Amino acid sequence: MSTNNIKTFSIFSILLIAALLFTACGPATTPTPEPPVTPTTPPDEPPDDFTGTLEVFSWWTTGGEAAGLENLFELYKNKFPQVEIINATVAGGAGFEAKPALTARMLGGDPPDSFQVHMGQELTETWVVDGFMDPVTFIFESEGWDQYYPQGVLDIISYEGEYWTVPVNIHRANVLWFNQEVFDQYGWTPPSTFDEFFALAEEMQAEGITPLALGDVGIWASTHLFEVVLAGSMSPDKYNGLWTGKTDWNGPEVKQALENMARMIEYANPDHAALSWDQANDLVIQGRAGMTIMGDWVDADNLAKGFEHSGWAHPPGTDGIFVALSDTFGLPLNAPHRDNAIEWLKIVGSKEGQEAFNPVKGSICARSDCNPNLFGSYLQGAMQDWESHTIVPSLAHGAAAPESWVALINDVMTSFVTNLNVASAQAGLAQSCIDAGICQ
Ligand code: GAL
Per-residue pLDDT tens over the stretch 372-419? 999 999 999 999 999 999 999 999 999 999 999 999 999 999 999 999
Q: Is residue 20 part of a domain?
A: no
Clarify whether residues 68 and 215 are in a common domain: no
94 lines ligand 1 (CB under 6 A): yes
Confidence band (pLDDT; 50, 70, 90) for 136? very high
Clarify whether residues 159 and 104 are in a common domain: yes
> Which atom of ligand 1 approaches the CA of 325 most closely?
8
> Which atom of ligand 1 approaches the CA of 118 most closely?
8
220 lines ligand 1 (CB under 6 A): no
Are 358 and 348 spatial neighbours (Cβ–Cβ below 8 Å)? no
Res 42 pLDDT > 70: no
> Which atom of ligand 1 approaches the CA of 62 most closely?
12
Q: Is residue 195 part of a domain?
A: yes
Please identify, among 337, 360, 375, the residue that sits at the C-terminal boundary of a domain.
Answer: 375
Res 37 pLDDT > 80: no
Q: Is residue 106 part of a domain?
A: yes
Clarify whether residues 406 and 257 are in a common domain: yes
Clarify whether residues 238 and 153 are in a common domain: no
Clarify whether residues 334 and 234 are in a common domain: no
Clarify whether residues 157 and 193 are in a common domain: no
Clarify whether residues 213 and 249 are in a common domain: yes
Interior CA angle at 417 toward 416 and 421, to 5°?
Answer: 40
* DSSP strand pairing (53-58 vs 390-393): unpaired
- How confident is the prediction for the chain on average, in pLDDT? 91
330 lines ligand 1 (CB under 6 A): no
Clarify whether residues 233 and 339 are in a common domain: no
Q: How far is the CA of 145 from the centre of ligand 1 (A)?
A: 24
Q: Is residue 440 part of a domain?
A: no
171 lines ligand 1 (CB under 6 A): yes
CATH number at residue 139: 3.40.190.10
Its domain, for residue 89, covers 25-171+328-375
First to last CA, the chain: 29
Taking CA atoms only, the protein residue closest to ligand 1 atom 8 is: 327
Q: Is residue 343 part of a domain?
A: yes
Ligand 1 binding pocket mutation candidate from 62, 65, 379 (most atoms within 8 A of CB): 65
Residues 277, 292: Cα–Cα separation, whole Å: 9
Sign for the CA dihedral angle at 185, 190, 196, 198 comes to: positive
Clarify whether residues 346 and 210 are in a common domain: no
Per-residue pLDDT tens digits for 350-375: 999 999 999 999 999 999 999 999 99
Clarify whether residues 182 and 268 are in a common domain: yes
- Give the chain's domain count: 2
Taking CA atoms only, the protein residue closest to ligand 1 atom 5 is: 94
Q: How far is the CA of 241 from the centre of ligand 1 (A)?
A: 25
Confidence band (pLDDT; 50, 70, 90) for 84? very high
Q: Is residue 12 part of a domain?
A: no
Res 64 pLDDT > 60: yes
Q: Is residue 250 part of a domain?
A: yes
Q: What is the pTM of this model?
A: 0.89
Clarify whether residues 50 and 149 are in a common domain: yes
> Which atom of ligand 1 approaches the CA of 326 most closely?
8
Ligand 1 binding pocket mutation candidate from 224, 292, 397 (most atoms within 8 A of CB): 397
Q: Is residue 382 part of a domain?
A: no
Clarify whether residues 255 and 157 are in a common domain: no
327 lines ligand 1 (CB under 6 A): yes
